[in-house]
Amino acid sequence: MIRVAIPFHLRTLAGVAGDVELEIEGVATIHTVVDALEARFPALKGTIRDPVTRKRRPLLRFYACSEDLSHEPMDAPLPDAVLRGAETLIILGAIAGG
Amino acid sequence: MSTIRVLVGTRKGAFVFTSDGARKNWDVAGPFFAGWEIYHVKGSPADPNRLYASQSSGWFGQMIQRSDDGGKTWNPVGNTFAYDGETGTHQWYDGTQHPWEFKRVWHLEPSLSDPETVYAGVEDAALFRTTDGGQSWHEMKGLRTHESGPRWSPGAGGMGLHTMLIDPGNPHRMYIAISAAGAFRTDDGAATWKPINKGLKSQYIPDPNAEVGHCVHRIAFHRSRPDVLYMQKHWDIMRSDNAGDTWYEVSGNLPTDFGFVIDVHAHEPETVFVVPIKSDSEHFPLDGKLCVYRSKTGGNDWEAMTNGLPQRDCYVNVLREAMAVDALDPCGVYFGTTGGQVYASADGGESWAAIVRDLPAVLSVEVQTLP
């Protein structure tokens, strides 16, 4: 089980109040986690990755285990602590803008 | 008695106002999609309870929302806007060629006859269409791949397709406008397009007769006379009597010929409304006085309509999508400001009152006249 924290506006779109727990088949990566998020909450499709290029949206970041994973390959395995459910994968919106 | 529904897009959400035909007392619902930029909300002429909204964010990209109950509830539909085929390039600010990149949907234009069909005008400029109620969007690439495309360049606000007019008598004819490429017309259902910018004069453009490169802000027509077009350009109010083949200036006695909105009275095809704005870098009303100007002669002769509008210390803007008219008699006229006011006139512009005063900056205003 992977625990994922998503930004306020995406929680509103998905209709959830807190973190999301996902079961991932195979290797858990940022891509497979986002795939699973989009499958469970279709309203989130395209909000984290550009739906055409599948690249991370520039003002979103990925964090886990106090590490910034935003520039890691999105198909790299997530840290063990995230895989075990001990740590949360945080999808964070940049604190920017007006 | 008729009901009026006003659909308002703002920098931080959408709002829906309703009133009876008297248009004095308004119910305000919203914000919907709070915190998101709502570039445009528009209802289907074929099913007025079917509404579409363009919801976007610098963080989370583009969403399209659909309501089947007149704006009470909404559901997200498809949000994939993929250019069809080779993306190509257009002119960038530094004169180099730059690849087309989808950024957002500026304008949604529902079909006049089918609530499932909607056209979307997007930035970077292209035309998309859905025929399944917004679930999937497909580019009509004849516009973007026009041979002049590599010469299109963005205005300060981006290279967006913002205006769409569908000819009520000929569904194969449509007009669109792009900042800052100009106006285009199709006569074959969007397969091919013709630039319609002859007669536009744009200061500082090296070739005054350039086929493209004009900063068209908005085009409007009266549905009974779709060959007669009115245009608010970056400078000048323009008119065409031949479906855009040629244009002539009708700015006449306006105090400034810059502005963004333009619209036509619902029952008087020669009555036109504009809101003059001080150009170029200030973009607020002249002398702090907010005025709608009305021409009852198809342009040239304009009168200031100020009753009920602030005549001192007013420094808002009125953006290109932010004016609309209803179909009642007398005709109602509505516009929204970057200061968050939405003004309504129930008497063809003679007098004005604010429906609301403190919304986020208003990006778009549309009106539905319901039986």
**Contact residues, chain B, for A9 at CB < 8 Å:** 35-36, 57, 59-60
Domain annotation covers residue A98: no
Kind of pairing between the strands at B97-99 and B13-20? unpaired
Structural domain boundaries of chain B?
A: 3-370
What CATH class has B3-370?
Answer: mainly beta
Rounded to 5 degrees, what angle do the CA atoms B144, B150, B151 make? 110
Q: What is the tens place of the pLDDT at every residue in B217-259?
A: 999 999 999 999 999 999 999 999 999 999 999 999 999 999 9
Q: What is the domain range of residue A23?
A: 2-93
Question: The domain spanning residue A13 has which CATH number?
Answer: 3.10.20.30
The number of domains in chain A is 1
**Contact residues, chain A, for B36 at CB < 8 Å:** 9
Contact A13 B57 (CB under 8 A): no
In angstroms, the first-to-last Cα distance of chain B is 7
> Which of A50, A55, A62 is best to mutate for the B interface (most B CBs within 10 A)?
A50
Kind of pairing between the strands at B118-123 and B126-130? antiparallel
Q: Residue A8: phi, psi to the nearest 5?
A: -50, -50
Q: Is the pLDDT of residue A38 over 90?
A: yes
Rounded Cα distance between B371 and B369, Å, is: 7
Section B144-157 average pLDDT: 94
Domain annotation covers residue A19: yes
CB A29 within 8 A of CB A77: yes
Domain annotation covers residue A53: yes
Q: Is the pLDDT of residue A7 over 70?
A: yes
Phi-psi region of B169 (alpha: psi -120 to 50; beta: other; left: phi over 0): alpha
**Contact residues, chain A, for B58 at CB < 8 Å:** 59, 97
Contact B63 A94 (CB under 8 A): no
Domain annotation covers residue A36: yes
Name the residue facing B57 among A9, A45, A52 (closest C-beta).
Answer: A9
Instruction: Write out the two tokens for B130.
Output: 């859905």
Domain annotation covers residue A65: yes
Beta bridge partners of A90: A5, A63
Name the residue facing A94 among B59, B62, B80 (closest C-beta).
Answer: B59
User: Where residue B281 falls among pLDDT bands split at 50, 70, 90?
Assistant: confident
Q: Is the pLDDT of residue B149 over 70?
A: yes
Q: Is the pLDDT of residue B310 over 80?
A: yes
Q: Is the pLDDT of residue A98 over 70?
A: no
Q: Which chain A residues have any C-beta within 8 angstroms of a chain B C-beta? A: 7, 9-10, 13, 42-43, 45-48, 50-52, 57, 59-60, 93-94, 97
Contact B60 A10 (CB under 8 A): yes
Contact B60 A50 (CB under 8 A): no
**Contact residues, chain A, for B60 at CB < 8 Å:** 7, 9-10, 47-48, 57, 60, 93
**Contact residues, chain B, for A52 at CB < 8 Å:** 80-82, 102
User: Where residue B203 falls among pLDDT bands split at 50, 70, 90?
Assistant: confident
Rounded to a whole number of angstroms, the distance from the CA of A45 to the nearest CA of chain B is 8
Q: Is the pLDDT of residue A63 over 90?
A: yes
Sign (positive/negative) of CA torsion B320, B322, B327, B332? Answer: negative
Q: Residue B55: phi, psi to the nearest 5?
A: -115, 125
pLDDT at B27: 98
pLDDT at B165: 98
Q: Residue B150: phi, psi to the nearest 5?
A: -60, -15
Rounded Cα distance between B165 and B180, Å, is: 18
Name the residue facing A52 among B35, B59, B82 (closest C-beta).
Answer: B82
Rounded Cα distance between B281 and B362, Å, is: 20
CB B268 within 8 A of CB B258: no
**Contact residues, chain A, for B62 at CB < 8 Å:** 46
